[in-house]
Amino acid sequence: MTSRKLEITCILLLVFCVAALPAAAQSFRAQCPPSTITHPGDNNAEPAYNGPTQFTRPTTGTQQWVVPTSGTVNGAIKCQQVSGGDGYMTEADGTQTFMFSFGPLSGLADIASGNTGAEFPSVFNTPYPGTLVRGDPATTDGAVTGASPGVGVGAGTAFTWNGAVGIAPDVIQTLAVSDVAEGAIPAPGTAPHCPAPTATTVTAYTFEPAGIPVGAQVTIANSPASAAPAPAGFLGTFTVTCADSNVISPGGFSQYAFQYTDSTTGLGSSTSLEGTTASTPPAIDGHVDPRPIMDIGVMNGNIPGPLLAFDEDDEVFLTLTNVGMIMRPDLFEQHTFHFHGYPNASSFYDGVPDASVAIDIGASFTYYYMAPDAGTYFYHCHITPPEHLQMGMVNQLYVRPRQDRVPAGQSLYTSLGYQNGISEPTTNPVVDLRTACSPGADILCSATMPAGGATANTATRAVPGSLCSNPAVNVGAVVDAAGNGVAPDYVYNDGDGSTCYEVTYPIQEHGFDPNFHFVGMTFNPEMFVDMKDKYFLLNGRSYPDTVGQCGGSVISGCAPGPQATVSSDGTMHYSQPLPAIINIPAGGRASLRLVNLSVAEYFTLQTLGIPMHVVGWNAKLLRDQAGTNTEYWTNSINIGGGESDDVILDASDNGCGSPGCAAKLYPAGSVFYLYEPDLDRLSNDAENFGGMMTEVHICSSVTGGNTFGNSCK
Amino acid sequence: MKNALSQITRILLQTVLVLSLMATAHAAVPGITGTTFNLTAQDGYLNQPDGEAIYSWGYGCSVAPAGFAPAALVSVSVCPTMQVPGPTLIVHENDTVTINLVNQLPTAAGNTSILFPGFQVTASGGVVGLLTHEAAPGQTVTYTFTASQPGTHPYYSGTQGDLQIEMGLYGAVVVIPATIPGNCTTGYHSAIAAAKAHWGEADFRLAAAAYDHPGSCYDREYLFQWAEMDSRIHRQAQAQVAAKVGCTAGTMGCSLNVQTEPYHPAYFIINGRSMPDLMDPNYASEYPHQPYNADPHTHPGDLLLLRTIGQGRWQHPFHEHANHVRILARDANLELSSSTTPVSYTTPGGTAVSGPGLAGLLMFNTDTTPGESFDGIFYYTGRGLNWDPYGHHPVSSSNDPLATLPCIPDVNGYNSAATTAVNFFEWCQDHNKPVEVNPFGDVGAGGPVTLPDPDVVTNGQWYGGTPYLGPDASLRAKMPTCVGSPNGTPNPTTPSGGAGTPPVNTANCTTLNPANTQLNPANERGWAFMWHSHNEREITTNNVFPGGMLMMLLVDSREFVIDETL
């Protein structure tokens, strides 16, 4: 009897201890609210841009912030989860290089096929239906040891899930209820700081903080064997209307209380209840199971880290989960994300550990951003930057303009006027100042109205299956995976169509110093002064890995897949998901989103044959305050560490004269090159061939979409 | 005697007049003023944060200068006989400027000189050298030019530049424009002046505009000169100078033979100092030969003028966190639109002035290039964050009136009319918008984000302890401190709620004390943004991180008084 009582006490204590930990004590989590005050309603698709978002602001009550008017809301919600840890990649000379690096913990299938891992809430919040295994998606795909890029996808089952790793329904939280009272609170009980109870208001008292927010569902139940149950009228599932702490229960104890409204009256009060519980239903609310996070996240480093692309007007929830660096158990390295170039950033979400918080091993932190102006940015770790950037914690990021969401055939100039407050449609009459650019008052905006007014700027939103170049002088097409025509898009809100492209490719220039990486893997002091890059990388690969087995000539249907590396855990991991091959439909234009993340070198990229049209610099449209485009033509471009620019490789054959002219400069089937003209960098360490180079393929059509993962026909 | 006395009185009166004029006419980036500058080139030691004192050469004042600027810094200003960078020469457009340089370098260092790129210079005295007249050891050379172009200009040695510039012989000329466009002193700029006056903040500017152009207005300014040092070169020069003390100038062997290649710098400096020394005050006594700091501060809405010069051998990608920079000019040449349609520059309540549109790049990485200067404008407002950085809340349960301030948007969306308010220049669209779902101190519920458990993150030295800006918002938003055991056990008090108002959930308490009293003290609680070289190995000092080319921009809420003398 005594032992049994002790056992019960222990169990009760255990329950108490576990329940006393508030939700915040869980250190891994993945936030992705399906709706917010800025984006109420369904956020699982991008609405068309038909004018600025309209707002109203309540002038009474506790919620005097602007709320958008239904039907005018622009943008949606995107979420991504990324692991911070370590891993290995494969250099083009076969060397395996140790990295500190980021890896995907959401959108695994999309990342592996060369796309962004930023997902809508409905995708992100979908738990994996089975059990993830170490190395996924490479393991399920059947990637094999030593495979070259593209051969990595083997005989396994194609991995298609894009949810957040670890996401799981939150456990049912159960609390013991000691007292319940309907209506007035009998002495010595005190009323919580809540609206005065009505005849059907139930006040329930607990010994622990309920942790149930107002508005949440709570289920009140009795255990079947209870000797002192609550009367049946109190039982059922209700909505919490108020919660408070430090109140006295009718039984005379200092306790927590919450309230709900039931359906019957005259229940009175009951004290000293036994076996009566309040429980919350299971929900997908950011709770994760840490096991799959560690299974997938450890040794899962990618170079570049997971691509993040989203649309202007989106709200973005970017979760960084620090899984630790298993190869360096001596280090207790924190990690952060710095969204490089984010305008008017808050220091809290700027990712500089000195100015904010850094994420410890075993913890997650969700960065929150309202999408900034369209353009090419990147994000990287800001802990000891000379070390963590050289070691590989560098990811790509770009923002698509709202001009992409303008309905087909509509005037680009008029649509730019909507966001700049030049003239508004009758359905959306008030300008959204957040999107406006007024050069005489704001020295830092670039999306001014193009010179010449509406008469000089007649470009309309391109339609699916068309080309930017009008009339087309050389005819290709881009089709999606289903075979449907893909409309050209734009790099910026230009209002004149000058930044139109058919295909877009984020290209990261980087350099690895094998010496430094060896030092980083072992336990030696690091020398920054002597840092010298020996591997010169485009998207984490040197030539010929940049083009995989699709190089040398146009091979119909060939698509370089993710490059896999067998890690020190003996498992294949996709280490370099992005190729760097540039497929352009004949007559088309490719937007290259160039960034340099080397910590030591300026790099130049040069083209042979196809001219570069530089349309953006540091995530801003090249346009002066008077509306004149300051874009320029070149065949080479030099950028330093931390810089980005937007280049359009223009293979539209506009130079050849009339439509259908015989002498096409860039006919389907031809191959051009993009390389670093400092020829010392066309090497892979001791190998005097390779380095920072990739191929540009002109295709009769491009299938599988307008970015990496597509293939040339 | 009487005459002499009255003359002295008259001079004193004139001095007072000049000083008072300077106080109202806004002075500048720290430097020396006048039209004739008597400079010397001497050797000395530069202090670095690793404890090294590096033998260097620098320009300095051979006699006291005519004056110092800005006026608000005069009380602490000095001009030593050797400093790196050299004294910043502050002149006015169209001034005739004369520089007398006496060569007091060690004799073995040989001749020296100064080049003033961008000006038509007449040189006299000394000896004719390769690029200009040079002063032999002990000699004086004179350079005269008209300050034809406003803006920021470099000056540096024109003799054996690979060694002498590396050793520290460089500096800046700042030319104040002759006319200030009317829009630069009205509208936002007069509102910002009123806000400064309200909080008792001095004006540390040279002028209200960088150029005779309505797009070049600014509200505060900083000068950053970027360079690097290979200490091997400095040690070699020091050893050879020591070995040749007493040699006769011009004789065989009375010269240096220092190898300036291969170049392997380990010190990456801004204004002669490395992080963290560069955050110490201007003219701090610890750095007798490095008087200029690099410690930028700003308030929301202020236009910040960056005057930047590449003084070393290497390019450095200067990354400004927090916003873009509009390049106004390179080497003091304004970059303007080719369009004939002017832009009307105006801010609410201000004068409109038309001028050619600016055409300079908008950059978040502003390359510094050897020998090149650029002027750029930066600002910070918090526009588009989608949450209220001040943590405003329409119902304050802590009875803090600052929690419930209004935000009245002007035509551009800013709270620019409330010049005496803490939230002057707040971006009003996000007013009252919370960042977090659940209550966090007094800052309201409903926002999209759940802030992290403070136990699973590590706080930075500049982190104010909350996501919010300014001492009031940070204190107000701080989680209640736990009493008793950690992890959310009850606190004994419940803030007043009463019927009709929701209670505050004190269960979300924290055991963390994030307050940092040194780098971001309780009366500041600014938002810190790193401004640094993005060739990240350059944010080290002799292989140690952090160091080198790294500074922190502090965006301070209005009630914090930015005092550049500190």
Smallest Cα distance from A599 to chain B, Å = 4
For residues A514-529, one letter each, b for 16 or more C-beta atoms within 10 angstroms of the residue's C-beta and e for the rest, the string is bbbbebbbeeeebebe
Three-class SS of B55-78: EEEEEEECCCCCEEECHHHHHHCC
Question: Of all helices (H) and strands (E), which one includes residue B236?
Answer: helix B231-243
Smallest Cα distance from A509 to chain B, Å = 13
Give per-residue pLDDT as tens, A439-486.
Answer: 999 999 999 999 999 999 999 999 988 888 766 656 788 998 788 889
Tell me whether A360 touches chain B (CB under 8 Å).
Answer: yes
Helix (H, G, I), strand (E, B) or coil at B8: helix
User: Pick from B264, B324, B453: which is nearest to A620 by CB?
Assistant: B324
Which residues of chain A, if any, have pLDDT below 50? 1-26, 150-152
User: Pick from A196, A441, A618: which is nearest to B346 by CB?
Assistant: A441
Joined together, the tokens standing for residue B339 give 């369009």
Give residues 175 to 214 of A whose Cβ lies within 8 Å of B.
Answer: 192-196, 209, 211, 213-214
Helix (H, G, I), strand (E, B) or coil at A616: strand
Q: What is the mean pLDDT of chain B?
A: 87
A356 contacts on B by Cβ (under 8 Å): 460, 463
A684 vs A705: CA distance, rounded Å: 31
Instruction: Find out whether A258 and A215 touch, Cβ atoms under 8 Å.
Output: no
Residues in Cβ contact with B485 at an 8 Å cutoff, skipping those fewer than 6 apart: none
Helix (H, G, I), strand (E, B) or coil at B172: strand
- Residue in A173, A194, A255, A444 to test binding to B, most B beta-carbons within 10 Å: A444
Which is more confidently placed, B499 or B144? Answer: B144
- Residue in B339, B345, B536, B555 to test binding to A, most A beta-carbons within 10 Å: B536
Determine, for residues A625 and B265 on separate chains, whether the beta-carbon distance falls below 8 Å: no
Give residues 680 to 709 of A whose Cβ lies within 8 Å of B.
Answer: none
Three-class SS of A553-615: CCCCCCCCCCEEEECCCCCEEEEECCCCCEEEECCCEEEEEEEECCCCCCEEEEEECCCEEEE
Average pLDDT on B173-195 reads 97
DSSP state for residue A400 in the 8-state scheme: E
Average pLDDT on B36-40 reads 98
- Residue of B204, B230, B232 whose CA lies nearest to B218: B204
Give per-residue pLDDT as tens, B76-111.
Answer: 999 999 999 999 999 999 999 999 999 999 999 999
In this prediction the ipTM stands at 0.88
Determine, for residues A341 and B545 on separate chains, whether the beta-carbon distance falls below 8 Å: no
Give residues 232 to 271 of A whose Cβ lies within 8 Å of B.
Answer: 242-246, 254, 256
Q: Where are the alpha helices (DSSP H) in B138-187?
A: 161-167
Helix (H, G, I), strand (E, B) or coil at A494: coil
B352 contacts on A by Cβ (under 8 Å): 440
- Residue in A57, A206, A346 to test binding to B, most B beta-carbons within 10 Å: A346
Determine, for residues B555 and A63 on separate chains, whether the beta-carbon distance falls below 8 Å: no
Which is more confidently placed, A118 or B523? Answer: A118
Tell me whether A64 touches chain B (CB under 8 Å).
Answer: yes
Tell me whether A540 touches chain B (CB under 8 Å).
Answer: no
- Residue of A455, A181, A630, A320 whose CA lies nearest to B339: A630
A353 contacts on B by Cβ (under 8 Å): 458, 460
Smallest Cα distance from B340 to chain A, Å = 8
**What is residue A627's predicted lDDT score, i.e. its pLDDT?**
96
Which is more confidently placed, A660 or B376? Answer: B376
Rounded to 5 degrees, φ, ψ at B334 are: -60, 140
Domains A77-167+286-400 and A500-558+572-712 alike in fold: yes
Tell me whether A47 touches chain B (CB under 8 Å).
Answer: no
Q: Does domain A500-558+572-712 have CATH number 2.60.40.420?
A: yes
Tell me whether A31 touches chain B (CB under 8 Å).
Answer: yes
Tell me whether A215 touches chain B (CB under 8 Å).
Answer: no
- Residue of B558, B551, B478, B563 whose CA lies nearest to B526: B558
- Residue of B377, B359, B362 whose CA lies nearest to B308: B377
A349 contacts on B by Cβ (under 8 Å): 467
Smallest Cα distance from A31 to chain B, Å = 8
Percent of chain B with pLDDT over 90: 75
Superfamily of domain A77-167+286-400: Cupredoxins -  blue copper proteins (2.60.40.420)
- Residue of B317, B320, B547, B376 whose CA lies nearest to A596: B317
Joined together, the tokens standing for residue A341 give 């170039």
Smallest Cα distance from B180 to chain A, Å = 17
Determine, for residues A599 and B527 on separate chains, whether the beta-carbon distance falls below 8 Å: no
**What is residue A169's predicted lDDT score, i.e. its pLDDT?**
87
Smallest Cα distance from B15 to chain A, Å = 39
A40 contacts on B by Cβ (under 8 Å): none
Determine, for residues A387 and B545 on separate chains, whether the beta-carbon distance falls below 8 Å: yes
Q: What is the value of pTM for the model shown?
A: 0.88
Domain boundaries of chain A, sorted by first residue: 77-167+286-400, 174-279, 500-558+572-712
User: Pick from B337, B389, B500: which is nearest to A625 by CB?
Assistant: B337
Helix (H, G, I), strand (E, B) or coil at A248: strand
> Could you give the C-alpha distances from A609 to A584, A636, A650, A653, B177, in angstroms and in order?
14, 11, 10, 11, 47
For A467, how many CA atoms within 13 A lie in the half-sphere containing its CB?
25
> Is the bond preceding B276 in cis, omega lying within 30 degrees of 0?
yes
Give residues 406 to 445 of A whose Cβ lies within 8 Å of B.
Answer: 433-434, 438-444
Determine, for residues B457 and A359 on separate chains, whether the beta-carbon distance falls below 8 Å: yes
Residue appearing with tokens 């855990």: A569
